[in-house]
Amino acid sequence: MVKHSKGYRTRTRKLLKKNIKEKGSIPPLSKIMKKYTEGEYVSIKINPSFHYGMPHRRYHGKVGVIAGKRGRAYEVKVNLGDKEKLIIVRPEHLETFKGVMKN
């Protein structure tokens, strides 16, 4: 009996799958080079083409606030349950949040 793998991308076959029309394509440079300011709301949308700076799958689809910058990546504060987490994400996996945040 082979032991079940518990890797970083475990159980992501459907979650990190690209649309058939997007396969093999990389996002435009404007998305990769986008500058985010501190306090800006972003949604985390994992791009499976880029492995560097990829957050854990539990953060896919979450909305967070930019807390700072660390090298090429950004520090993002995300609420997960009753805790606030600080994760480090590269801009390929971020999008500006277009919705309205309720406080």
Q: Quick check: is 58 in a domain?
A: yes
**pLDDT reading at 103 higher than 70:** no
Q: How confident is the model at residue 87 (pLDDT cuts 50, 70, 90)?
A: very high
Q: Quick check: is 42 in a domain?
A: yes
Q: Quick check: is 65 in a domain?
A: yes
Among the residues of 50-95, which ranges form H helices?
Answer: none
Q: Are 46 and 87 in contact (CB under 8 A)?
A: no
Overall domain count for the chain: 1
Q: Stretch 26-40: mean pLDDT, rounded?
A: 90
**pLDDT reading at 42 higher than 90:** yes
**pLDDT reading at 102 higher than 70:** no
**DSSP count for the chain of H helices, then E strands:** 1, 5
Q: Quick check: is 20 in a domain?
A: no
Q: Quick check: is 59 in a domain?
A: yes
**pLDDT reading at 15 higher than 80:** yes
> What's the pLDDT score for residue 26?
79
Q: Quick check: is 24 in a domain?
A: no
Which residues fall within 8 angstroms of residue 60, CB to CB, at 6 or more apart? 15, 16, 44, 45, 46
Q: Quick check: is 82 in a domain?
A: yes
Domain that holds residue 52: 37-96
Give the CATH number of the domain where residue 60 resides.
2.30.30.70
